[in-house]
Amino acid sequence: MTTPLSLHVGAKLTPVELDPVSRMDLIKYAGASGDYNPIHTIDDEAQKLGLPGIIAHGMWTMGNVSKLFSPFHEEGFIKDYSVRFKGMVMLDDVITLRAEMLDRQDNLLHFNVTATNQAEKTVIEGKVVFELIS
């Protein structure tokens, strides 16, 4: 099994493919986050604003990116995390999460992270700093 200690610059974490985005995912996230904007749960409201249908909360997608680091929870933690939202995530999209190590400074591992849909369109790109527990 790969551990953060064995990673090198250019190493890629095992990609994570999420289940297709469901309406229930977005309803649950709305409740958990307090973001009840109807573009995330009601088709008619999303369409009134010119969207093809409901879209996932950007922060729902961002939060899922952290799943790339879940296997390493005993070895460290996400110290810093920033993303740019590059595209919309639609109902039934299948999102794949990826991370590649850019740099290592002592116990800090720097990663580029991306989330892409089934058409390989990037919906999120960003950076994560993972700190190893000494």
Determine the Cα–Cα distance for residues 134 and 118; give it in Å rounded to an integer.
38
Could you tell me how many residues make up the chain?
A: 134
- Kindly report the CATH class assigned to 10-132: alpha beta
DSSP structural state of residue 71: G
Closest CA to 89 of 68, 64, 69: 64
> At CA 27, angle to CA 56 and CA 35, rounded to 5?
70
Q: How confident is the model at residue 6 (pLDDT cuts 50, 70, 90)?
A: confident
Number of H helices, E strands in the chain: 3, 5
Residues 117-131: tens digit of each pLDDT: 999 999 999 999 999
The pTM score is 0.92
- Residue boundaries of the structural domains of the chain: 10-132
> Percent helix, strand, coil in the chain (nearest 5)?
30, 35, 40
CA 123 to chain CA centroid, Å, is 9
